[in-house]
Structure 1
Amino acid sequence: MNAEIVSVGTEILLGEITDTSAPYIARRLANLGIDVYFQDTVGDNYKRLESVINLAESRSNLVVLSGGLGPTEDDITKLVLAKHLGLALDTDEHALQKINDFYKSYPMKEPTTADMQAKYIHGATVLPNDNGFAVGMFLETKQCDYLVLPGPPVEMQHMFTKYALPILAKMASGNPVIASKVMRFFGIGETELEDQLKPLISNQSNPTLATYAKHNEVTLRITASGSKKADVDNLIDGMVQKVNAIVGKYFYGFGDDNSLAKVAVSLLKDKKLSITAAESLTAGMFQSRLGDVSGVSEVFSGGFVTYSAKVKENVLHIPTEVINDHGVVSRETAVWMAQNSKKILNTDVAVSFTGVAGPDQLEGHPAGNFWVGIALPDGDVKAKEFNFGKDRNEIRDYATKCGLKMIYDNLK
């Protein structure tokens, strides 16, 4: 089976937004063994969209259309496809009720075309939109099959994974059950991860493996199919064990929506440990990441941003001679920052950050050179040096994640 992905939206053609949907869909189709030979981008224009559909169905078994399902007049995907196929549009009553209920409680007049989001082509399988209003659909025809998805990534990805994926998996493999598990890694790049997992990736069949580069981290999606859920789960769990046997030191958790901050906070909660932080180059970013996690107040009550040497001395009581003898960018300063912030706020754990965010050097150290310290419940204090040669905010983000990974590594 081969597929073609059509991204619909003038804003994509104009470069106003980046098309993240096509790569997402292509990777997941590849996991199913469905080859994507063509990708197209077309604006919100009747004639041009129909010409792209004509071409796509002439050379592909599956045509995936993403975008153009909203409530405005330029959202024309369903209309064009229905007219092209000579089929009527029906209304999904559940979706229509959801739209009506929303506007009844929302202080805004309902657009006259809002109900278009509840329309689907006659004979199609409706794909519910749990994160929005515009329903998707899957339609089989003699010419080819059509998968129609919304454009917004948060809506499209959820709909694809929950509703479209099982349909496509059954078509591609004949198996009614498909499942995926996402492993998350930090401290290793995508290329290196692929290289280390090459023996598994080269021989993959079921499960399949696919790596994805994220913001300063990497994920690995393991997808398996079978006739029974228990069998599929066993296939995935077996592959997880094989992966961790090779690159387990970089692994920190599972899930598309997971993060190092969530994992660290969850670990602190489970162990009933409190935390503080003393930040220099990250300037509060680490504490902000903790604050992004719901319920963090159970383990985090506050911390320090000590940017200058003088504030480190006055607030954290770091001896002047430590900074004079070793500099602010040093193991010694990172250790003192961690142990003293822990002592001042009487917490179980403390993390410290000191280094060079750049672009200029500091004390002879280049941008991207930094230390992360961690003071642990048993009184042990560690510090680790890192070098990450990117721009200022990338360095700060990476340093923050290094601190979170150190929490995971030392408390798991």
Structure 2
Amino acid sequence: QGRSGCTVPLSRQGGCNGMGQEQEHPVGAVGAQHGAAAGGMCGNRDRDITAGAVGAQHRLGWVVLVGTGLVPSTLQRTLVYGRDRIRFMESLVVGDIAELKPGQGTLTLLTNEKGGITDDLIVTNTSEDHLYVVSNAACADKDLAILRDRAAQLQATGSDVHLEVSDNALLALQGPSMARVLQAGLPDDLAKLSFMNSISTTVFGVPGCRVTRCGYTGEDGVEISVPAARAVELAEQLLGVPDVWLAGLAARDSLRLEAGLCLYGNDIDETVTPAEAGLMWTLGKRRRVAMDFPGAAVIMAQVKQKPRRKRVGLTSVGPAIRPHMAILGPEGRPVGTVTSGCPSPCLGKNIAMGYVEAAHSRAGTKLTVEVRKKQHPAVITKMPFVPTQYYMAK
């Protein structure tokens, strides 16, 4: 079956929706061996793939929808060791890291003193002796500098914390067939692994892997951290399964937008607060009371006073809505800006994300978007646009 019954080929032309750096991936050469042509997506050369096997006009997002997609990822992984690792992490992010059970992870936000979002991270409390931190590739240098600077500050006062940057490759296996495909090469029972949980294991004979049940598509999926020297081997084994195809970032971008997930650099950045972005759920209750994370006073004051702008979803018909387009109110006055947008293969209409004045943020509000100097009707729509399929063990 496909995502919520969706079997529509993703035939649109994808484009760069965010920031990125020119990076190679250990399995970047695999695409050419599987009838795929790589194009640019946010500066990553081994991205945005069209496959002849599916038809030159079809994006591989179609395969993610009705089968399982394999996406090489350039996300940065940092390991945090030491008895003070949780205190270290909580001095930088808004989440309640101390409450995470062994193997459990959470999406959290790295914030600045003005309450802005420096990056969105996934932090996992591994069952071993460290925290596993995944950050965006475009923010890798910035994030690492912040982590290292804070670690040095704590070390100077006698705290026990140290960092190690992982050189593993990361493969994202996403889609309805993921569990069946991966279970065939996994000694562990995948049915016991819930969304946002992680295990260290062997995958199709490759030891030293970390499998985390998460992803950036809204589908049931995993991200596999694999030793770089064997990344191509594992990718080839996965791509040898009939249901698995190599997918590009443009395909993944349409899926994450359908799922209502933010893209750093477009939908959130250092000028946007968690309150404005609708991400207050990432703040742990204990952390809200303690107010001991960067920008806490600004963020909590904004919650009390209500933010002046809010992140919203939009749907429309006609020309596609793209980033930076103006959102206009009933009288034609600008009330916001689009931050992400594309045609939705599942819904058969345009979807977008953006920020509007709070007075215009209620679902069902009719606005217009200016596309090539012409105004087109748009409606504020609740997200996710397409129901997510995150898996929770019974």
TM category (shorter chain) comes to under 0.3
Structure index of larger Rg: 1
Q: Tell me: higher relative CO, structure 1 or 2? Use CA pairs within 8 A at least 6 residues apart.
A: 2
Q: Which has the higher helix share?
A: 1
